[in-house]
Amino acid sequence: MRKIKAIVKRPEEPVGHMTCVSDNLENLQRIVKGPIETVYVREDLVIVCNEEGKIHGLPCNCIIPNDYLVGEIIVFGVDGDEFTDIPITRQEWKKILADWGNSECRE
């Protein structure tokens, strides 16, 4: 089982926490509590979230450009179709969230 360095962010956490995550589908679905969807932040950074989270009324997690994500999210690095260790620090992630306007999460 392959483990990848990632940030897992719960809705109540301002930034999230760095951890290692098994990248198998069942584990990713367990963390986000449902079917997964990927949202590319940039070429080497991707967010995994619950594809049906808004339908099920999960709490707002963070604002992204032109949208928002709900429920728990996982932030990975990405190389082509493969998840990789996250290429940024937790502080860099905090700055990305601040740049997106995450002082307040709106639905």
pLDDT of residue 107: 44
pLDDT of residue 103: 59
Q: How far apart are CA 71 and CA 81, in angstroms?
A: 23
Helix runs in the chain, H state only: 25-32, 90-99
pLDDT of residue 36: 97
Alpha carbon 102 to chain centroid, angstroms: 14
The pTM (predicted TM-score) of the whole model is: 0.93
Confidence check: pLDDT of 40 > 60: yes
Q: How far apart are CA 89 and CA 76, in angstroms?
A: 11
